[in-house]
Amino acid sequence: MKKNYTSKTQAYKLQPGSYIVGKWHKKTYRILKALGQGATGTVYLAESNHRFVALKVGEDNMAIAAEVNVLKHFSKVQGQVLGPSLLDVDDMQLFGKTISFYAMEYLKGKDLLTFIRERGHEWVAIFIVQLLGDLDRLHRVGWVFGDLKPDNLMIVGPPPRVRWFDVGGTTLFGRSIKEFTEFYDRGYWGLGTRKAEPSYDLFAVAMIMVNCYYPRRFDKKNDERPIQQLKQAIGQQDGLRPFRHVLLQALQGKYKDAQMMRKDMMDVISKQSSYEKQSVEKRVVKQQQRRRARTKRKASYLVEIFLISTFLLLIYVLYLYGQLL
């Protein structure tokens, strides 16, 4: 999938093992590897003072400053950490230019799709519910995540918990989405605009859930309506079918806020749990009935053997008695 924008920081790629020193705070960072790249810069795993950090480096100093402001603004919303904690903001000299960067908490875990592949699809709905709760808190303070996709979701724990990172696409309500990935973008599917509003993120949430069952994703077909293509994809997966109504509501922009979608997800999960509980109870009852039936048959069989043996013994005794007379 192609992104709408490409980063200019490729020309300033930092090599593993290289060191950078902050111009103002003089902190030293050793680059270990690149973690990912977005429209506003590249995120690296780095080490500083015997601690792992995620370091975002970008040529567009204004964009980096905007992301720092976002992190500061919603680092804690209603007492809960949503994104990674901001640790340091500084500049560095690179190839004769001043490049801005910031260091943030390194979230050690596995990306969403890797976790699902290793641990099973029963976790998908759980993480979607967690994500919707976090988005609801973000939306309440007037921000849309924007470039919401599995690459920006990390599973940490135990207990397993979804966390997001790389806030480069975060946008204030009412503005145009500044960064997106086609598969998760409703504009690409012709199912809405790129205006920053809660329904934009909720469309992406639905597509993330679809992506969990189609890890290689798929392209939009030009010979049919996109919503029909997505309906068909949902209908072909056993794990998605119970959530069909919720997903289609989100894909068509019917949800006004994340809490509504979260409630509907919870209702489906609850019904599934109730159905599975009833199924288990029915299986247990049937097993008990079969065991009782086998016990009765066994008891009846033993009685028959006893009666037959007693009858044969009586005949034998009578035979011996007759021989003695």
Q: Which residues are catalytic?
A: 147
Q: Which amino acid is at 29?
A: Y
Closest C-alpha to 41, from 63, 24, 19, 66: 63
Cα 196 to Cα 178: distance, rounded to the nearest angstrom: 9
Q: Which amino acid is at 58?
A: G
- Please count the other Cβ atoms lying within 10 Å of the Cβ belonging to residue 155: 21
Helices (H), 145-241: 198-213, 226-235
Output the six-digit token pair for 211: 């992506």
Does residue 15 contact residue 39 with C-beta atoms inside 8 Å?
Answer: no
Sign for the CA dihedral angle at 100, 106, 111, 114 comes to: positive
Output the six-digit token pair for 68: 């720092």
